[in-house]
Structure 1
Amino acid sequence: MPVTEWFIIKSLTIPSSWLAVLLAILITGIIVWRKFGKETEDWFSDAAILFLLVWKFSVVLTDFKLIIDSPLSILYFNGGRLGLFLGLSAALLKLLWRFRQKNWPVSELVALLFSIVMLQSVYQIIMVLVNEALLWQKIITVVLFVALVTLTWLKISISSTWQIQLTFLFLFTHIFVALIQPQGILQSPLFVTGIFVICGSLAYVLTNKQLEFTEEKL
């Protein structure tokens, strides 16, 4: 969904996408805490903070000359699309490393898959609510992502089959929604979903390999 609304906070002009990211992280963190407990919410918060820091300060890499000429501009800019993917990669790698240290527990896999579906879904819903778009585009986007979140909430803990099915349903839902939005499939949020699905699928494979290895030892 293209950004059509901007918010002015004192001397800062903030695009609606920034607001949507922050609200999505906050809302998802609260929901994860309520569903999985404080320990799970702690690793989600750590990853979210790492993502925000890398995204924000990656402007030093993407526009070094600007920072040298005007150091305070680091407060007003971020690393853009490259910074977004750098921050996302840093956060996901941190999570995968943490899960590896804990031998890929199934409970952590469930929480990870739930979190990535919730995070992107809440972001998409906020974006269509605060930005301009055709009414039918807004309705379809909200209905599909609310349905996806509801199904994920109900089914994610049932079995490994449901976990992988929901992961790819997440991808297909976002592809369909992107096709009806003005920017089409060449939009950053859809690429983010693709990275989420790759990360979730990798965690799924490694978790199940660890589970099979444990069962063989028994």
Structure 2
Amino acid sequence: MNVLQIGSIAILYKWVFLGIAIFIGYISIRVWLQSSTEKKNIKPIMDLLFNTIFLSFLVWKGSLLLLEPSIILKSPFSILYFTGGSKGLILAIIFSFAYFFLKAKKLEISNEFIIKLMFIFSLVVLTAYHGLTVFFIEEDVLYHSLISLFMITVLVIGIFKKDIYSLKWIYMVTIVFSFVHFILIMILIKSQAVFLFSVEQWFLIGIILVSLFHRNKLRSLN
């Protein structure tokens, strides 16, 4: 079974692994900040990251009101036991990036530093999540294996290559990863289509378009 049973509450293991991956990402950012910014800036950035994660969790839980209002109308307390699923998670991710970016700007953090931080956090979380899923869940093993292999490759390159987190490189990796991820979902994952593609695929298309826009904008400035 892929469900963790705690009393009357059943939690999918993939959500448990996501929580663990986010915690690993949080710790990784703290370690990264030790060598990339002044000590006085570490606490406000980590506080902002924690708040972003917490509020994103609430958005994920609360998305059930938007996605499945009938469930809440029948049983209001069901919001304590259920989440918005994968669709709600995408809404929470969009919220988290927008919230973190806007709040970080108020802390007078540069756009480049914000993007690097969000990229590193996402990279670590995805690597940990898909890696845990490969070892402990027997569903879609090839899909999760290929995603984690891609992420690990990026991490290894990051260790040995200098200036790996330049904006140009970040946008390129994001575009390539999103495209590869899109194809893997099409080939290996059975998902419900919404206007030809799944919600996750549309989300990846959005990431590709945004990354292409900013990468071309960066080129025009050079």
Pairwise mapping of residues 1-218 of structure 1 onto structure 2 (< 5 A)?
A: 5-37=2-34, 38-39=42-43, 40-101=45-106, 102=108, 104-133=110-139, 139-155=145-161, 157=164, 159-175=166-182, 177-178=184-185, 181-183=188-190, 193-194=204-205
Q: Is the 8 A contact 2:29 2:121 kept in 1?
A: yes
Return closer, same or farther for 1:191/1:68 CA change in 2, 3 Å cut-off.
same
- Cα-to-partner distance string for 1:1-58 (whole Å, 9 max, x where unaligned): xxx6111112111112211221121111111111124444333322221211101122
Question: RCO greater where, 1 or 2, for CA within 8 Å and sep 6 or more?
Answer: 1
Structure 1 unmatched runs, 5+: 213-218
* Bigger mean CA offset, 4-13 vs 40-49: 40-49
Return closer, same or farther for 1:194/1:150 CA change in 2, 3 Å cut-off.
farther
Question: Percent identity at matched positions?
Answer: 19
* Bigger mean CA offset, 188-197 vs 77-86: 188-197
Does the residue aligned with 2:32 lie in a helix, a strand or coil?
helix
Structure 2 unmatched runs, 5+: 35-41
Total equivalences in the alignment: 207
Q: Is the 8 A contact 1:128 1:141 kept in 2?
A: no
Normalised TM-score (structure 1): 0.74
Return closer, same or farther for 1:93/1:59 CA change in 2, 3 Å cut-off.
same
Return closer, same or farther for 1:201/1:41 CA change in 2, 3 Å cut-off.
farther
Q: Give the alignment's Cα RMSD to 1 decimal.
A: 3.5
* Bigger mean CA offset, 102-111 vs 149-158: 149-158
Normalised TM-score (structure 2): 0.72
